[in-house]
Amino acid sequence: MKLLFLLLLLPSLSPWHHPLSYDGKGYWTIRLPVLVRNTGDRPLRGSPVRLEIRKGDETSVLIGQPVRSIRVVTEEGVELLFDLIDPEGEPKREGAVAEGDAIVFPAEVGAGSEARVYIYAGNDKAWLPPEWIRASIANPSFERGDDLPEGWEVWGTDAGHRMFRQRGGAHTGEWCARCEVDEGAEPSWVKYFQRGMLVAEGVRYRFTGWVKARNVKGKAGWYVHVDGDKPMIINKVVGWEGSFDWRKVTIEFTVPPTGRRFSCGTVLYGTGTAWFDDAKLEVLDAAGTEAKPLRPETKKLKRVGADATWEDGWRWRAPVIVRNFEDEGRESLVVIDARRIGNAAYKLIGPDNRAAIKIVDPSSPDPLR
């Protein structure tokens, strides 16, 4: 049996949070405290906060850490969904954290107040979380995908309204999106679109996207929506008709109270052919929100009992790992779910035999507890 006791390296303002989700039977050795300040006159109610990773400050402790090991936790121990994006704003789900990446997480902070969250890293056994928030436009230039571009949804297609990726003729890169609507077809909001990206009330944003058109009767361009307590509390469309080369669509907006989620998509309301590329959403004014990284903390556990001698007369044994993240060793009652041990014993000795169990603590003078 293995017992592990805490070796204190740095003083902690809050107990080390454990266990965290999808730990892979490991634990986290690094955490970065982040002080979130709200200097505005409105509370942050799940508003996204962005922390950029830089070599020159405390966030550098995260550089090189596996993406799958990152977790964001409130001081009270509540794990938060978050997004990790690369310098181009693309979601990052593999590899290691690098300079220029950013972690975006929702914050609950009262007006004129501050709150602390912790970003954990350093668990090489951790699994990649299955759920994330959306903080940016994925695949903004349509470079990835098959018939349907990765990260985009499609709506309104039929025999007379068609959407697909096109290789060549893009504004940048190799690929763009293309929409064709036949002459005489009913006008509709056929589109590629993305939805569900977190935005913060009171914050000013700019959306940009590019469009090209040929023989459009109606309007070709882009739209943005912001949803809150009601759908489409912001609903803006910019586009043109006729034939034209690549044009930049710019839509600026301030998220009103209750605004929570951003959506955007292509527009060809009418007939003709249009091409789309290079969508982007950026913050113009963070409205008094600041995320300040504090001194990183590390925690290493001392291994005790890993080399325990085998008890005579016993054919099998199962190590039980007990972790103590406090500053001092302690004696306490440990509760173990023995079902996995029982299942293994059933397979080893069969259903007709009863297994005797002996619990041994190698660090204790009493061999039988």
pTM: 0.79
Cis, bond preceding 319 (omega within 30 deg of 0): no
Report the sign of the C-alpha dihedral through residues 340, 344, 350, 355, in that order: negative
Q: For residues 276 and 178, what is the distance between their CA atoms, to the nearest angstrom?
A: 6
Give tens-digit pLDDT for 251-278: 999 999 899 999 999 999 999 999 999 9
Report which of 89, 97, 94 is spatially closest to residue 60, judged by C-alpha positions.
97
Mean pLDDT taken over the chain: 88
Segment 25-46 shows an average pLDDT of 92
Domains and CATH numbers, the chain: 17-136 (2.60.40.1180), 153-285 (2.60.120.260), 302-369 (no CATH)
Please give the pLDDT value at position 126.
Answer: 98
Report which of 40, 44, 51 is spatially closest to residue 82, judged by C-alpha positions.
51
Q: How far is CA 316 from CA 99, 248, 335, 355, 364, in A?
A: 48, 70, 21, 10, 21
Please give the pLDDT value at position 364.
Answer: 66
Please give the pLDDT value at position 366.
Answer: 63
Is 49's pLDDT higher than 70? Answer: yes
Give tens-digit pLDDT for 305-355: 666 777 776 777 767 677 666 666 666 666 766 677 677 766 777 766 666
Residue 98 C-alpha from the chain's centroid = 15
Q: What number of residues does the chain have?
A: 369
Segment 121-127 shows an average pLDDT of 97
177, 153 Cβ separation under 8 angstroms: no
Q: For residues 355 and 218, what is the distance between their CA atoms, to the nearest angstrom?
A: 78
Please give the pLDDT value at position 266.
Answer: 99
- Where does the pLDDT of residue 8 fall: very low under 50, low under 70, confident under 90, or very high at 90 and above? very low
Segment 101-109 shows an average pLDDT of 95
Q: For residues 9 and 11, what is the distance between their CA atoms, to the nearest angstrom?
A: 7
Paired strand residues for 72: 80, 119
User: Alpha-carbon Rg of the chain, whole angstroms?
Assistant: 27
Q: For residues 110 and 115, what is the distance between their CA atoms, to the nearest angstrom?
A: 9
At a CB cut-off of 8 Å and minimum separation 6, what does 315 contact? Answer: none
Give tens-digit pLDDT for 192-209: 999 999 998 889 999 999
What SS3 class is residue 44?
strand
